[in-house]
């Protein structure tokens, strides 16, 4: 997955995407088509379905294959997200993630299953698959969240290997950033791309996961929305699920994923619910030009939705036996 700068949204009018050997050039002209693609999915839903934030064709394909092989929706999501966590070239999740201001790669991840169970790790170092550790927290501890050194220690006790997650490239980028950026404790607005993934198996069982290295060059100890229930992810097996990417501080303040699921409970489509959750942020925040937030959602029928504050948000959906990346035209244009 290529890291994308949310803030340089103006530069994102044209984004090249390659998926499964197909190259899509999403320009202003084709973005209308992307819109049609996504909208038609909503009226022509089917199960199973996998939807993820960003252009992660390999990850969604992996999740889809896992479902075909009989994995639960939860294990499919963990397998899918694991593809990007293991990709050292991706600088937003797992190994290769951009570090905090001190040069430490700290990861946040969570999972939620159809029973409403949840597990998360926050600010964990040295373990490249935090989403798998989050599942262990959910299933093998009496807790739902573990953080920092305790989370790492728990992971090791469960057989996860400790390794250095700071790649040469990410170290170089951090060193460059240190030379050019002022070191002060403001909310970081550098590049960031998180994977939130939702899956429904053929029986209609819904699960989701979210994994991230958080904001690049964040303050040490900072945790965003991605691993926090209701903000970065929420699943209700009777209704649907939602997950988020973008500036976690804003998602947290509006408990975005929970809000979307509750709006679907009230009868909104996934698309309408994502739009309303984005509008909630816009209403409450004066400086939306300084950050991006994007949501995706799915309902029990397999209908999907996506919406973001600014242009440049992409989603990947595996449904109807095919992997579709949409350079979403779904953003607030007011
Ligand atoms: C965070 N929401 O830590 C994450 C960052 C992100 O795409 O989504 N990046 O705030």
Q: Indicate whether residue 294 lines ligand 1 (CB < 6 A).
A: no
Q: Mean pLDDT throughout 32-37?
A: 34
State the CATH number of the domain containing residue 248: 3.60.20.30
On the question of pLDDT at 39 being above 70, the answer is no
Q: Mean pLDDT throughout 255-271?
A: 98
By the 10 Å C-beta count (0-12 exposed, 13-18 middle, 19+ buried), 249 is classed as middle
Helices vs strands, H then E, count in the chain: 9, 14
Q: How far is the CA of 82 from the centre of ligand 1 (A)?
A: 17
pLDDT for 180: 79
Q: Report the number of distinct structural domains present in the chain.
A: 1
On the question of pLDDT at 31 being above 90, the answer is no
Q: Indicate whether residue 226 lines ligand 1 (CB < 6 A).
A: yes
Give, for ligand 1, the residue of 247, 252, 254, 314 to mutate: max count of ligand atoms closer than 8 Å to Cβ: 247
Q: Round to the nearest angstrom and report the end-to-end CA distance of the chain.
A: 29
Q: How far is the CA of 69 from the centre of ligand 1 (A)?
A: 31
pLDDT for 290: 83
pLDDT for 26: 27
pLDDT for 33: 34
Q: How far is the CA of 57 from the centre of ligand 1 (A)?
A: 19
Q: How far is the CA of 245 from the centre of ligand 1 (A)?
A: 5
On the question of pLDDT at 20 being above 50, the answer is no
pLDDT in tens, 229-240: 999 999 999 999
Query: pTM for the full model?
Result: 0.87
Place of tokens 């009226």: 43
pLDDT for 289: 85
Q: Please, are residues 55 and 17 in contact by the beta-carbon 8 Å criterion?
A: yes
Point out the residues that are catalytic: 194
| Ligand 1 atom index nearest CA of 218 | 3
On the question of pLDDT at 14 being above 50, the answer is no
Q: Can you tell me the distance from the alpha carbon of 153 to that of 158, in angstroms, rounded to the nearest whole number?
A: 9
Residue nearest to atom 7 of ligand 1 (CA): 193
By the 10 Å C-beta count (0-12 exposed, 13-18 middle, 19+ buried), 132 is classed as buried
Q: How confident is the model at residue 328 (pLDDT cuts 50, 70, 90)?
A: low
pLDDT for 327: 72
Q: Indicate whether residue 215 lines ligand 1 (CB < 6 A).
A: yes
pLDDT for 16: 27
Q: Can you tell me the distance from the alpha carbon of 142 to that of 145, in angstroms, rounded to the nearest whole number?
A: 10
pLDDT for 333: 60
Check residue 40 and report its DSSP letter.
H
Q: How confident is the model at residue 226 (pLDDT cuts 50, 70, 90)?
A: very high
| Ligand 1 atom index nearest CA of 194 | 7
Q: Indicate whether residue 312 lines ligand 1 (CB < 6 A).
A: no
On the question of pLDDT at 43 being above 50, the answer is no
Spell out the residues 6+ positions from residue 198 whose beta carbon is closer than 8 angstroms to its own.
50, 51, 52, 77, 206, 207, 208, 235, 241, 242, 243, 296, 297, 298
On the question of pLDDT at 305 being above 70, the answer is yes
pLDDT for 40: 36
Q: Indicate whether residue 248 lines ligand 1 (CB < 6 A).
A: yes
Instruction: List, in sequence order, the alpha helices (H) in 181-308.
Output: 248-254, 256-265, 270-284
Q: Mean pLDDT throughout 112-126?
A: 98
pLDDT in tens, 282-291: 999 888 888 8
Give, for ligand 1, the residue of 4, 192, 231 to mutate: max count of ligand atoms closer than 8 Å to Cβ: 192
Residue nearest to atom 10 of ligand 1 (CA): 248
Identify the three-state secondary structure at position 276: helix
Q: Can you tell me the distance from the alpha carbon of 109 to that of 119, in angstroms, rounded to the nearest whole number?
A: 9
pLDDT for 1: 39
pLDDT in tens, 59-98: 999 999 999 999 999 999 999 999 999 999 988 899 999 9
On the question of pLDDT at 18 being above 50, the answer is no
Q: Indicate whether residue 225 lines ligand 1 (CB < 6 A).
A: yes
Structural domain range at position 66: 3-330
pLDDT for 71: 96
pLDDT for 44: 59
């Amino acid at each position: 997955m290529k890291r994308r700068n949310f803030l340089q949204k103006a530069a994102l009018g044209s984004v090249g995407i390659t998926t499964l050997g197909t190259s899509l050039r999403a320009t202003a002209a084709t973005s209308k088509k992307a819109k049609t693609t996504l909208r038609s999915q909503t009226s022509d839903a089917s199960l199973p379905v996998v939807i993820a934030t960003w252009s992660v064709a390999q990850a969604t394909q992996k999740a889809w294959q896992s479902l075909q092989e009989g994995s639960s929706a939860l294990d499919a999501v963990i397998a899918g997200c694991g593809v990007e966590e293991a990709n050292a070239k991706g600088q937003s999740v797992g190994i290769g993630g951009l570090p905090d201001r001190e040069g430490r790669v700290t990861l946040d991840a969570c999972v939620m299953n159809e029973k409403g169970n949840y597990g998360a790790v926050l600010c964990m170092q040295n373990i490249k698959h935090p989403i798998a550790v989050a599942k262990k927290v959910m299933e093998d501890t009496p807790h739902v969240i573990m953080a920092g050194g305790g989370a790492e220690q728990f992971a090791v006790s469960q057989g996860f290997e400790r390794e250095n997650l700071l790649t040469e490239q990410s170290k170089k980028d951090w060193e460059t950033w240190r030379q050019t950026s002022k070191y002060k404790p403001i909310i970081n607005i550098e590049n960031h791309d998180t994977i939130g993934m939702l899956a429904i198996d053929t029986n209609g069982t819904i699960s989701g996961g979210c994994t991230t290295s958080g904001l690049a060059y964040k303050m040490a100890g900072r945790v965003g929305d991605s691993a926090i229930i209701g903000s970065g992810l929420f699943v209700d097996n009777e209704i649907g699920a939602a997950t988020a990417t973008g500036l976690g501080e804003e998602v947290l303040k509006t408990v975005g994923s929970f809000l979307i699921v509750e709006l679907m409970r009230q009868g909104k489509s996934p698309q309408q619910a994502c739009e309303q959750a984005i509008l909630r942020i816009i209403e409450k925040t004066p400086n939306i030009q300084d950050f991006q937030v994007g949501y995706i959602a799915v309902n029990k029928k397999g209908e999907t939705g996506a919406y973001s504050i600014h242009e440049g948000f992409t989603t990947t959906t595996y449904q109807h036996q095919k992997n579709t990346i949409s350079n979403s035209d779904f953003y607030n244009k007011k």
